[in-house]
Structure 1
C-alpha cells in the first residue's frame, strides 16, 4: 500500500489519486497548513504511520515540508521507499514577496531534510530543480532545489502536470473579444495576490477600462475597479464554462511551478499570456505571449501588437499544445511508472 500525504487536499491531489488507484492500493492522509495545529498533527501523523506500517510499501508526499518529515524518517528507519512530488513553493526562497518554504527557518529545515533523505524527487517543472530567476529584479536569481540545497544528491525526475482534454475543452461558446480571466486561490492575502500576479492585473485593468477581467478562486479578494469581477472557488464544470467565455488567460505570476489553471484554460481554447517563471514559458511556447520581466509598460507594449493577431488560430494552437505535450495520459504513464519501479508496491 502507498501512503499519500499532503498539507491540504486540492484538485491536484485528487487527480493524482485518480491516476494511481488503477495500478496500486493507495491511502491518503491529509496534514495541515496551520502553524498552531502543527504539534497536534505531528502527533497524529506519527501514530497513523505506525498503524499503517505493516501494510506500507511506499510513501508519497505532495510537496516537501513539515508533512513530509515523518514519512521520510519512517522510510529511512524501516527501509521503505519515499517519493516527494515537488510542486513550487517547496523549491523557492522569495522573502521579498513572502513566498517559499526556504524563507522560514524551521520550514526550511523540514524541507531540506525531506528532500535530502527521500528516495526520489518528482518536480513538475525543470525550473524547480535549478533556475536563474530574472523576472522580478527584487528577488534573488538563485532559485530551485540545487541552488537552495547545493549538496542535494537525491535522484530527480521531472513529471509535468497533465490535463483531461476531454473534460477541459472548447465547447463552442462565444468568447468576448477583450476578456481576460485568471484563477488562483488565497489571493485575499496580499502576498499571495502578488505571487499570482494580481498586482499587474490591477494596473492593467486600471489603464484599460474597456477591457474586462474575471478573477476566480477567492471571493474575499477585493478590487475597486468596475471592469474586474471577482468570484470564489468554482466547480470544475463551471470553470469550463468560464474559460469558454473568455478569450485570454492571464498567468502573470511572480513565481510558479506548473500552474494547473493555465493548462486547463489553454485546453479550453483560451489564449495564454504569462510571465517568464517556472514552467509557464514551456507550457505556452509559441501559442501566446511571454512577459520576460515584471514591467507594466513592457507588458502593455507587447499586448498592443499581440492583441491584433488572429485569435482563432492562437486558440486552436493553445489547445493543441496541451493535447500534444501535457495530456492526462502522459502524466499518468510517467507517474505510475515511477511508482511501480519499486517491485514492492501492492
Structure 2
C-alpha cells in the first residue's frame, strides 16, 4: 500500500493493510504535518487532521519524508515512526536552461491561502520596484484572489494561469530568476525544476527551501517587498544559474529518487526491485495543489 500524504484516507489504508498483513508506505511532509496558526495553514490545525495524521503515520511500515525539514515535522506527530528521507526528483533532461531574459517567474496555484503562504502579494509588489524586468505568475486560479493580484499588478506583470508542461519548461528555460518567498515549504518542487532550468533562486529560508537551494540562491526576508526587489536585482546580474542547475543534478534527480524508492520498497518486501512497471512521473503539485 503506497499513500501520498498523512490524511484520513491514508489512516484507513494503513490500518487495513496492517490488519491484512500487508506492508504500507506513506509519503508525507507538507500541509498534512504542518501547523501554522499565524497564517491559518496546515492540516494539524484541526483535531480531525491531527488524528488522521497520527494514525496514518503510526500504522505505516515506512514513512517517506521529502526533506529533512519534513522528517522533523513528522517526528512531532509520530516520534516512533520509521522515517526515510527521499527527496522529490526532477527530470533534468526535460528542465534545461536556454537563452536567458530578464524574466522573473513564480509557480504555484493562486488562492487566498497562497497569498500569504507563498508570498504572492510580495511577488507582485516587488515587480513595481523592478520595472526593468518582466514578472510572470504561473498557476491555476482557485478563487477570486487572482482578481486582487490583477488589480495591484503593474504593467510588467503577467498572470498566465495554468500552463502545459512544455510551455512551463520553455518559460523556465528563458527565465533568469525564480522566486519562492514562502512562509513554510515542505520541499519546493517547482523551485527545484526552475533551478534545473538554470534560474537563480530568490527565496526565503522557510521550511525545506534551504535544503534545496543550498548556497546557490539569494535569501530574502518574508513579506518584505524591498528585500525581494533587491534580491531580484542581484539575481538578474548574477551568473549563478549554472550552479543552481548543478545542485539539482547532484542531489535531486528523478532517477535518484527512483533508486531510493526501489531500495525502500525492496527492503520492506525482502526482495530486490530492479525497475518499476512505469517510470516515475513528475508530481505536478506546483500549479494545481498546495503540495510540497
> What TM-score, normalized by structure 1, do the two folds share?
0.71
CA contact (8 A) 1:125 1:278 kept: no
Q: Which runs of 5+ in 2 are unaligned?
A: 274-292
Aligned counterparts of 2:266 and 2:66: Cα–Cα separation in 1: 19
CA contact (8 A) 2:195 2:245 kept: yes
Aligned counterparts of 2:95 and 2:236: Cα–Cα separation in 1: 26
CA contact (8 A) 1:219 1:230 kept: no
Question: SS of 1:81's equivalent?
Answer: coil
Equivalent residues, number: 265
Aligned counterparts of 2:114 and 2:221: Cα–Cα separation in 1: 21
Partner of 1:4: none
| Aligned-residue RMSD, C-alpha | 2.0
Partner of 2:81: 154
Aligned counterparts of 2:8 and 2:121: Cα–Cα separation in 1: 30
> What TM-score, normalized by structure 2, do the two folds share?
0.84
**Alignment counterpart, residue 164 of structure 1, candidates 91, 98, 101:** 91
Partner of 1:259: 188
Aligned counterparts of 1:184 and 1:293: Cα–Cα separation in 2: 17
Partner of 1:145: 74
The 5 A counterparts of 1:93-172 are 93-130=35-72, 144-147=73-76, 149=77, 152-170=79-97, 172=98
Partner of 1:176: 101
Aligned counterparts of 1:162 and 1:291: Cα–Cα separation in 2: 25
Aligned counterparts of 1:301 and 1:248: Cα–Cα separation in 2: 12
**Alignment counterpart, residue 130 of structure 2, candidates 183, 208, 221:** 208
**Alignment counterpart, residue 196 of structure 1, candidates 102, 106, 118:** 118
Q: Which runs of 5+ in 1 are unaligned?
A: 1-58, 131-143
Question: SS of 1:342's equivalent?
Answer: helix
Question: SS of 2:269's equivalent?
Answer: coil
Partner of 1:20: none
CA contact (8 A) 2:175 2:199 kept: yes
CA contact (8 A) 1:274 1:290 kept: yes
Partner of 2:170: 241
Question: SS of 1:249's equivalent?
Answer: strand
